[in-house]
Amino acid sequence: MASRGATVGPAVRSAGLSVLVLAVLCAVWEAYKWIGERAEIRWPFPVNERTMPHVHDMVGQLFEPSRRNGPLLIDVLLDAAAFTAKEAAVGFVLGASVGFLIAVALSQSRLLQRGFLPYIVASQTVPILAIAPMVVVGLGSKGVTGWVAVAILAAYLTFFPVAINTLRGLQSADPRALELMHSYAASRWTILWRLRVPASLPYVFSALKISATASIVGAIIGEAPSSIQEGLGGAIVNFNQYYSLEPRNLWATNIVAAALGITFFLVVAGAERVVVRRAPENVA
Amino acid sequence: MSTVVQPVPRSFGRTIGRRFRDWLPALVVFVLVLVAWQGLVEVFNIRQFLLPKPTAILGALRDNRSDLWSAGIVTFKEALGGFAMGSTAAILVALVLARWRRVGGAIMPYAIAANAVPIIAFAPITNNWFGLLNPMSKMVIAAVLCFFPVFVNTLRGLTSVEPASIELMRSYAAGEIETFRRVRIPNALPFIFTGLKVASVLAMIGAVVGEYFGGPLDALGVVIQNNVALFDFPLAWAGIIVASAFGIAFYAAVAVAEHFLTGWQPAADSRSD
């Protein structure tokens, strides 16, 4: 009983704290809006109903019809979020698998590492996201369906952090453990599977958490230039055009996009807690 | 005496040789990829859509170098402004939260989760706040992107201090400010630079991608976007190369600053990311 109370306690407290943090953020927003409208703040931007809608208006907008006699906005946006999540998830799994396999291949050969690692590192300093329009429009012209092209982009964004961190993790195995494996004449495969891969898991997951966000961003940005209407990126472009008429639609869309990004992150963080904690038992 | 000094020049020559041998495979890969790229495009007659020839991209880069350069400067200024605003705010907030640890510890998970918000998707909103043509609209996006890595790393650096150092400061009756100045901030510098290097790249990405949602016609993101729409892919790729060059130069500048400011520090965490 006592142990159960100990595990429930922190969960309840962190949930309560999350609500509190959200409430504080909303209060700051409303306070700035209240003061800004009365003091007629013009810098850095004019504060009014158009630039800063009420928080309850943005959330309330979710439960208004998206158009006359149409479905509720939240239904439209949840469909869009599911579409974007599909693109991001397919890309995430693809990119993470390829990144992991390439890291394993590189970890087996110094020559391959010297040949390719500098580019994998340099590619992190390149605005990969900037090629989004080209990848999507380019693949589209080759007859690739829009959402697949976006998934490939998300995969590309996922690939690099996973490859780099996995390689670092595979090399982080304890040298004494390596010596022990060698003294038992363990094969390359055994060392890889029993020692290096478990050692790499914390590194892999820290990359996966970065990639979870990157894949969502990639999916949203990939949709924008390619006139894919079904996803959140399409919704953002669409509502952006009518911002001066109805700013709350864009805000509501961005709230859903933010929620999707955080959900992806939390799913990976949850998987990390399960997998990384169990890893040592699997080895033993 | 002289025999002790002698190894230095010899090993210096050897390091250059080793350096070259270390980089040789990378060079070979670079040339092979370029040749294969050019060859495949020519042999299979791939249209310019998906992948223009490297020579075509270079040609576009050469023909439009002055336009692309000035577009790069416009975008780089946005990135620089955002980087400065975001990093300054992040370091200040981290300093405050490191002083009041309990608050900092409680806020940390939310900062990390907030980092999972697709911030670039908010570019249309800042465009509406400041106006499409106002560079501030991209700077704010770049600033928010820069904030999180700098904040998280700075706070980690300020708080991961050896307890013995703090005890030593206490035993000298050093005040909180003195402890920050002598122990926490020097300890945090390598961490701060790790965050700043990540932020330098993010700032450039934020500025370019923010411009995809609209911006002045002479900005790099708009130039890239427009040429994609016109199916002028060599010129669009040339724009990407310019964006990458600015991003890498920015990163390198921060790395050089790190080298001078933390040269005395043991390499600590500066290698990661």
- Cβ contacts from A onto B, under 8 A: 157
Whether residues A39 and A69 fall in one domain: no
Q: What integer best gives the mean pLDDT of chain B?
A: 84
Residue A49, helix vs strand vs coil = coil
Q: In whole angstroms, what separates CA A3 from the centre of its chain? A: 34
Q: Are residues A10 and A136 both part of a single domain?
A: no
Q: Give the residue-averaged pLDDT of A10-36.
A: 87
Same domain as A150, residue A43: no
Q: How is residue A36 written in tokens?
A: 């800004």
Q: What is the CATH classification number for the domain harbouring A84?
A: 1.10.3720.10
Q: Do B247 and A216 touch (CB under 8 A)?
A: no
**Are the Cβ atoms of A122 and B213 closer than 8 angstroms?**
no
HEC string for B219-233: CHHHHHHHHHHCCCH
Do A177 and A247 share a domain, yes or no? yes
**For residues B198 and A9, which has the higher predicted lDDT (pLDDT)?**
B198
pLDDT greater than 60 at residue B100: yes
Distance CA(B30)–CA(B34), nearest Å, equals 6
pTM: 0.84
Q: Indicate whether A189 and A124 sit together in one domain.
A: yes
Quote the DSSP letter at residue B118: -
Angle between helical axes of A232-241 and A197-223 (0-180°, round to 10): 30
Q: Which residue of A has its CA nearest to B202?
A: A127
Nearest residue, CB atoms, B50 vs list A142, A243, A258: A142
pLDDT digits (tens, 9 = 90+) for B15-31: 666 667 777 877 888 88
Give burial (CB, 10 Å; 0-12/13-18/19+) of A263. Answer: middle
Across the range A221-244, mean pLDDT stands at 85
Chain-chain contact of A44 with B130 (C-beta, under 8 angstroms)? yes
Instruction: Tell me which residue range forms the domain holding A69.
Output: 54-283
A69 and A38 within one domain: no
Let me know whether A115 and A205 are in one domain.
yes
Q: What are the distances in angstroms from CA A281 to CA A172, A217, A274, B46?
A: 19, 35, 12, 52
Whether A25 and A105 map to the same domain: the answer is no
Closest residue on chain A to B126 (Cα): A51
**pLDDT of res. A208:** 93
Q: Are residues A10 and A100 in the same domain?
A: no
Nearest Cα to B252, choosing from B207, B189, B184, B204?
B204
Question: Residues B44-58: pLDDT tens digits?
Answer: 766 656 678 888 899
According to CATH, the topology of domain B56-261 is MetI-like fold (1.10.3720)
Do A13 and A96 fall into the same domain?
no
For residues A59 and A45, membership in a common domain is answered with: no
Minimum mean pLDDT among A193-197, A273-277, B263-267: which range? B263-267
Domain boundary among A52, A71, A91: A52
Whether residues A131 and B129 touch (CB distance < 8 A) is answered with: no
Smallest CA–CA separation between A275 and chain B, in Å? 20
Which residues 6+ apart lie within 8 Å of A225 measured at CB? A132, A133, A136, A137, B212, B225, B228, B229
Query: Which residues of chain B are within 8 Å of residue A14 when distances are taken between CB atoms?
Result: 109
Please state the domain count of chain A: 2
Locate tokens 């799913």: which residue? A267
Which string of b and e fits A15-43 if b means at least 16 CB within 10 Å? eeeeeebeeeeeeeeeeebeebeeeeeee
C-alpha B26/C-alpha A111 separation (Å) is: 9
Contacts of A268 (CB under 8 A, 6+ apart): A205, A208, A209, A212
- Both tokens of residue B236? 């669009």
Question: If you measure CA to CA, which chain B residue comes closest to A256?
Answer: B117
Looking at the structure, tell me whether residues A23 and A75 fall in a common domain: no
With CA atoms as reference, report the closest residue to B146 among B220, B229, B205: B205
Q: What is the per-residue pLDDT for B12? A: 53
Whether the CB-CB separation of A61 and A252 falls below 8 Å is answered with yes
